[in-house]
Amino acid sequence: MKSHRKKTLGIILFIAAGLSVAIGLSLYALSSNIDLFYTPTQVAAGEVTPGQRIRVGGMVKEGSVKHSEEQLQVNFITTDYAHDVDVQYSGILPDLFREGQGIVAEGSMTPEGQFVASRVLAKHDENYMSVEVKAAMDAAERQRVMGQIQEQGQSQGNYQ
Amino acid sequence: MWVWFAKLGSPRWFYELSGKWLPWLYAAMTLLMLVGLTWALLFVPEDYQQGHTIRIMYVHVPVASISLACFPLMAVAGAITLVWKMKLADMVAKCVAPIGLWFTGLALATGAIWGQPIWGTWWAWDARLTSMLIQFFLFVGVIALRSAIESTDAAAKACAVLAIVGAINVPIIKYSVEWWNTLHQPASSISFDSAAPNPPEVWVPLLIMIGAVYLLFIISLILRTRNEILIRERRSQWVTDLITRSQS
């Protein structure tokens, strides 16, 4: 390679490397602001002030969804399996909303520690499969759990 | 290797060789597109969560992955333009920009159409969607910059620098779903087990569609570049010969 070409290539690589470092550092500094939502653990740690408009993301806790009898109002708990956030929402839920589903709720915390949401979005996970595959997986899982229960029963029987 | 490299830089050589490639590329693209689209739209089983909405993935993922390849390609072509002043590299850099813009726009549009029924919103300002929107505007910026500078050489240099700088956005788009919490799901890991999430029945047609759309991209790029070669080399002997031969 000729020397002037080497020099140009050197300058280009130097600029690209310098910019990457600069952008990398600024993204690192901004990282908490780039996150779309707070996790329930962050909320529990007091990173959120009541009244501030935020998003909270987590799983809908099993058995926590309570629909109001007359209104659209719904109460549920969103969790990251370490901490919980009690969410109150009045409006139409996305089709994918159900227990165990990842969601992102937009709203604010009340001073009492309840999250009043003005919008609830469903998160989709990275797993795609047909109804049949899902049913087969669930059946296999049930069989595994049943087997474990039986084994436990037998081992307990041996002790008696 | 350097002889081959120098030869590849010759627009005439590229024009003649790509002319021989094109029929094969057309045939392969048509075949993959027909198989892929039929499979994805008619035979992929309904998803257990999304139902038929999963079919949008077979367009969204290919166009998005190709849009991410366009910027690095433009940056590499730009670097070659700056260092070796290869004419063909700048023609490719010019021609890939509008195609990249289209693929980025299609990825954003199909993503929004999928997001409305699944997430419950067309748009969210999460890291993946926002960085993709930035890539859209970067392509607009590169195209605008090129048309704003009259001198071909000066425009080539300015666009090359912008392409190299803008390419830093590509890893940010790719890893945004891992570095930050986003509404967009992370990349899936495929499974060879037909009784596990992401089984072959889901990803084999996706692979075919990615191949088909990649070929579509390569064909579009070759066709645009061939036009650009004819325009820029219109005064050279071989182009005038080509025109007289086609007229006779």
| Chain B residue with minimum CA distance to A3 | B83
Interacting residues of A17 by C-beta distance below 8 A, sequence separation 6+: none
Check whether residue A30 and residue A1 sit in a common domain.
Answer: yes
In a domain, A145, yes or no: no
pLDDT at A22: 84
pLDDT at A59: 92
Read off the pLDDT of residues A54-78 as tens digits, 9 standing for 90 and up.
Answer: 999 999 998 888 888 888 889 999 9
* Partner-chain contact B83 A122, CB within 8 Å: no
Q: Which residues of chain B have pLDDT under 70?
A: 1-8
CA distance B111 to B108: 5
Check whether residue A6 and residue A60 sit in a common domain.
Answer: no
State the residue range of the domain holding A105. Answer: 40-122
- What is the CATH number for A114? 2.40.50.140
Count of H-run helices and E-run strands, chain A: 3, 6
Q: Looking up tokens 């309570």, which residue turns up?
A: A66
| Chain B residue with minimum CA distance to A122 | B119
Check whether residue A25 and residue A62 sit in a common domain.
Answer: no
In a domain, A157, yes or no: no
Check whether residue A68 and residue A19 sit in a common domain.
Answer: no
CA distances (Å), origin B34, targets B37, B40, B41, B44, B214: 5, 10, 11, 14, 14
* Partner-chain contact A5 B84, CB within 8 Å: yes
In a domain, A134, yes or no: no
Residue in A94, A125, A130 closest to B185 by CB: A125
Give yes or no for a contact between B107 and B67, defined as CB atoms under 8 angstroms apart.
Answer: yes
Check whether residue A87 and residue A49 sit in a common domain.
Answer: yes
| Chain A residue with minimum CA distance to B46 | A130
Q: Mind listing the pLDDT tens digit of every residue in chain A (160 residues)?
A: 677 888 888 888 888 888 888 888 888 877 777 888 899 999 888 888 888 899 999 999 988 888 888 888 899 999 999 999 999 999 888 888 888 889 999 999 998 889 999 999 999 988 898 888 888 888 888 888 888 888 877 776 655 4
Delimit the domains of chain B by residue range: 24-42+53-185+200-235
Check whether residue A92 and residue A115 sit in a common domain.
Answer: yes
Task: Identify which of B190, B222, B210, B14 has the alpha carbon closest to the alpha carbon of residue B103.
Answer: B210
Check whether residue A118 and residue A46 sit in a common domain.
Answer: yes
Minimum distance, in Å, between the CA of residue B73 and any CA atom of chain A: 15
Q: Determine the angle formed by the axes of helices B169-179 and B127-148, rounding to 10 degrees.
A: 170
Residue in B179, B187, B196 closest to A126 by CB: B187
Q: Determine the angle formed by the axes of helices B87-118 and B57-84, rounding to 10 degrees.
A: 160
Q: Which of A4, A129, A131, A138 to mutate to test the interface with B (most CBs of B within 10 A)?
A: A129
Beta bridge partners of A67: A74
Read off the pLDDT of residues A18-33 as tens digits, 9 standing for 90 and up.
Answer: 888 888 888 887 777 7
In a domain, A92, yes or no: yes
Do the interacting molecules here have an ipTM over 0.90?
Answer: no
Helix, strand, or coil (residue B57): helix
| Chain A residue with minimum CA distance to B190 | A127
Check whether residue A75 and residue A93 sit in a common domain.
Answer: yes
Check whether residue A52 and residue A107 sit in a common domain.
Answer: yes
Check whether residue A47 and residue A86 sit in a common domain.
Answer: yes
Chain B residues touching chain A at CB-CB below 8 Å: 45-50, 54, 57, 79, 82-84, 117-121, 124-127, 164-165, 167-168, 172, 179-183, 185-189, 194-199, 201-202
Give yes or no for a contact between B188 and A128, defined as CB atoms under 8 angstroms apart.
Answer: yes
Check whether residue A28 and residue A63 sit in a common domain.
Answer: no
Q: How many domains does chain A have?
A: 2
* Partner-chain contact B119 A123, CB within 8 Å: yes
Check whether residue A98 and residue A115 sit in a common domain.
Answer: yes
Exposure of B64 in the CB half-sphere (CA atoms within 13 A): 21
